[in-house]
Structure 1
């Protein structure tokens, strides 16, 4: 399992496999958010399979799919709610982690400035500078 810690309670990862979810729980996470639509690419485990594996590991699972660089307000709101309701650490994943960290920056549950969110993403290895206009001040 490979993930990048972004904040104390939030990390992102590329595609996870069902057999990795116990290790996610063992690493101290209690919530998983999948940001991939089902069948985005061959071999990708469907959200239902991931949900079952997450629940078996004692994790809360949310499926908030986004694609095509689109981040609709409903997805941002659902992502924010999932993060706010989490009792512990959250691990969000997509194909590379970019959609997940973008949703986290847009949700801005910590009420950080755009520069702080862009800098945090950059330190985690993701360039969100093109999102500055959508991130506000």
Structure 2
């Protein structure tokens, strides 16, 4: 699975699938942050499905959905809180990785 490292404890990726989670856990990540709203695309796994598989393979899970082009201060705070709670490296994802990257940049600006 492809991801881009943005910081010591954060990588971003396009859509993560349940079958990717074991590999992420084996790579040393401690959790994932899902930045996609459910139902954004017909082939997208649901948040519940991803959360269940994340827990099964020992990853923490946060769902901070962001509508494309509509990021709010609340979502930035939630994203920042998830990074703080993680205690280790996480992968944040959305459809392409752009929203997750924007959330991280915004969270750095207010930290």
Q: Give the TM-score range, shorter chain.
A: over 0.9
2: distance between equivalents of 1:50 and 1:14? Answer: 14
Residue 12 of structure 1 contacts residue 97 of structure 1 at CA under 8 Å; is this kept in 2? Answer: yes
The 5-angstrom pairing of residues 2-21 of structure 1 reads 2-21=2-21
Secondary structure at 2:77's aligned position in 1?
helix
2: distance between equivalents of 1:41 and 1:108? Answer: 29
* Residue deviations 1:104-124 (CA, integer Å, cap 9, x gap): 01011895xxxxxxxxxxxxx
Q: Which runs of 5+ in 1 are unaligned?
A: 112-137
The 5-angstrom pairing of residues 1-137 of structure 1 reads 1-108=1-108, 111=111
TM-score by length of structure 1 reads: 0.78
Q: Which runs of 4+ in 1 moved over 3 A?
A: none
Aligned length: 111
Task: Work out which of the two has the higher radius of gyration on C-alpha atoms and give 1 or 2.
Answer: 1
Output the aligned Cα RMSD.
1.3
Q: Which has the higher contact order (CA 8 A, sep 6+)?
A: 2
